[in-house]
């Protein structure tokens, strides 16, 4: 790191259990917040389910699998509405937010 930072400005995201205790022993505070973690875990759960379905039904070649995965990713990010994003596709939500 090329910049200096104050330790009091640091934010630690932990899984709970012993980590909060470890932070407290070093006079640091921790915040137990699962909201971002839950979103990521739900995404992995969705992809795991889709990969399972893919393996159960696919009998094509590797290039056709790559085309299918590319099409699925495009659908998921550009066309499929997401309830958590006020029924917008992720790309539209990011554009409105100004993140893109």
Domain count within the chain: 2
Domain of 10 in residue numbering reads as 1-33
87, 71: one domain: yes
The token pair that represents 18 in the structure block: 């012993």
DSSP-assigned states of every residue in 16-57: STHHHHHHHHTT---B---HHHHHHHHHHHHHHHHHHHHHHH
28, 40: one domain: no
pLDDT at 56: 77
64, 82: one domain: yes
Interval 34-67: pLDDT, tens = 666 677 778 888 888 888 887 777 777 778 888 8
The pTM is what? Answer: 0.41
pLDDT at 74: 92
């Amino acid at each position: 790191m090329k910049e200096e930072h104050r330790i009091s400005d640091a934010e630690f995201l932990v899984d709970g259990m012993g980590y909060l205790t470890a932070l407290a022993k070093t006079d640091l505070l921790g915040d137990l917040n699962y909201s971002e973690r839950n979103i990521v875990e739900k995404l992995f759960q969705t992809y795991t389910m889709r990969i399972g379905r893919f393996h159960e039904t696919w009998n094509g070649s590797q290039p056709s699998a790559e085309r299918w995965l590319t099409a699925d990713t495009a659908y998921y990010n550009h066309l499929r509405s997401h309830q958590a994003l006020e029924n917008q596709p992720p790309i539209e939500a990011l554009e409105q937010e100004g993140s893109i």
